[in-house]
A and B are shown apart, each in its own frame.
Chain A
Amino acid sequence: MENHLHAGLLRLGDDVLILAQRLGEWCGHGPALEEDIALSNVALDLLGQARAFLTLAGEREGNGRDEDALAYFRTDREFTNALLVELPNGDFGDTIMRQCLFDQFALLRYEALSAQSIDKEVSAIAAKAVKEVRYHAEHSSQWVIRLGDGTSESHHRIQKSLNRLWSYTGELFADDAVTESLAADGLMPLLANLQKPWQEAMNQILLEATLVMPENSGTQTGGRSGLHTEHLSYLLAEMQVLPRTYPGAQW
Chain B
Amino acid sequence: MVEERLSRIQACLSNVQDPELPFLSITELGMIRGCEIDQNGTAVILLTPTYSGCPATDAIQDDISEAVSEFETNFRVKLVHSPAWTTDWIDNDTREKMKRHGIAPPDGNSADKAFLLGKERKVSCPRCRSANTKMISAFGSTACKAHFQCESCLEPFDHFKCI
On A, residues with C-beta under 8 Å from B are: 34-35, 37-38, 41-42, 44-49, 51-52, 120-121, 123-125, 127-129, 131-132, 134-135, 138-139
**Which residues of A have CB within 8 Å of B139?**
34, 37-38, 41-42, 135, 139
Contact partner of B51 (CB less than 8 A), chosen from A120, A121, A132, A138, is A132
Q: A49 and B52 in contact (CB under 8 A), knowing A131-B84, A139-B138?
A: yes
- Give me 7 other A-B pairs in contact (C-beta within 8 A), A48-B52, A123-B82, A134-B113 excluded: A38-B137, A45-B51, A45-B52, A46-B53, A128-B84, A138-B117, A139-B138
In this complex, the interface size class of chain B, counting residues with CB under 8 Å from chain A, is: 20 to 34
Closest to B53 in A: A48
**Which residues of B have CB within 8 Å of A131?**
84, 86, 110, 163
Closest to A138 in B: B117
Contact partner of A138 (CB less than 8 A), chosen from B85, B138, B141, B163, is B138
Closest to A45 in B: B53
Q: A38 and B138 in contact (CB under 8 A), knowing A48-B49, A48-B53?
A: yes
Q: How far is the CB of B119 from chain A (nearest CB, A)?
A: 10
Q: How far is the CB of A242 from chain B (nearest CB, A)?
A: 17
Q: B81 and A125: CB pair below 8 A?
A: yes
**Which residues of A have CB within 8 Å of B110?**
131
Q: How far is the CB of B113 from chain A (nearest CB, A)?
A: 8
Closest to B54 in A: A48
Q: Give the docked Cα–Cα distance between A125 and B110 (Å).
A: 18
**Which residues of A have CB within 8 Å of B52?**
45, 48-49, 51-52, 125, 128-129, 132
**Which residues of A have CB within 8 Å of B108?**
none
Contact partner of B118 (CB less than 8 A), chosen from A49, A129, A138, is A138
Instruction: Indicate whether B147 reaches chain A with its CB closer than 8 angstroms.
Output: yes
Q: A34 and B136: CB pair below 8 A?
A: yes
Interface of chain B, main secondary structure: loop
Q: A124 and B81: CB pair below 8 A?
A: yes
Closest to B116 in A: A134
Q: Give the docked Cα–Cα distance between A217 and B96 (Å).
A: 56
Q: How far is the CB of A222 from chain B (nearest CB, A)?
A: 28
Closest to A53 in B: B52
Q: A135 and B161: CB pair below 8 A?
A: yes
Q: A34 and B137: CB pair below 8 A?
A: yes
**Which residues of B have CB within 8 Å of A127?**
81-84
**Which residues of A have CB within 8 Å of B138?**
38, 135, 138-139
Which residues, 75 to 118 on B, are CB-close (under 8 Å) to A? 81-86, 110, 113, 116-118
Offer 21 A-B interface pairs, CB within 8 angstroms, sorted by A: A37-B141, A38-B138, A38-B139, A41-B140, A44-B53, A45-B52, A45-B143, A46-B53, A48-B53, A48-B54, A49-B53, A51-B52, A52-B52, A52-B81, A124-B82, A128-B81, A128-B82, A132-B163, A135-B163, A138-B118, A138-B138
Q: Give the docked Cα–Cα distance between A37 and B140 (Å).
A: 7
Q: Give the docked Cα–Cα distance between A84 and B52 (Å).
A: 23
**Which residues of A have CB within 8 Å of B163?**
131-132, 135
Instruction: Indicate whether B55 reaches chain A with its CB closer than 8 angstroms.
Output: yes
Q: B137 and A44: CB pair below 8 A?
A: no
Q: A34 and B117: CB pair below 8 A?
A: no
Q: How far is the CB of B53 from chain A (nearest CB, A)?
A: 3
Q: B82 and A48: CB pair below 8 A?
A: no
Report B127-163 CB contacts with A as 1/0, cut-off 8 Å.
0000000001111110100010000000000000101
**Which residues of A have CB within 8 Å of B117?**
134, 138
Q: Give the docked Cα–Cα distance between A92 and B137 (Å).
A: 16
Contact partner of B143 (CB less than 8 A), chosen from A34, A41, A134, A139, is A41
Q: Give the docked Cα–Cα distance between A124 and B82 (Å).
A: 5
Q: Give the docked Cα–Cα distance between A52 and B49 (Å).
A: 11
Closest to B147 in A: A34
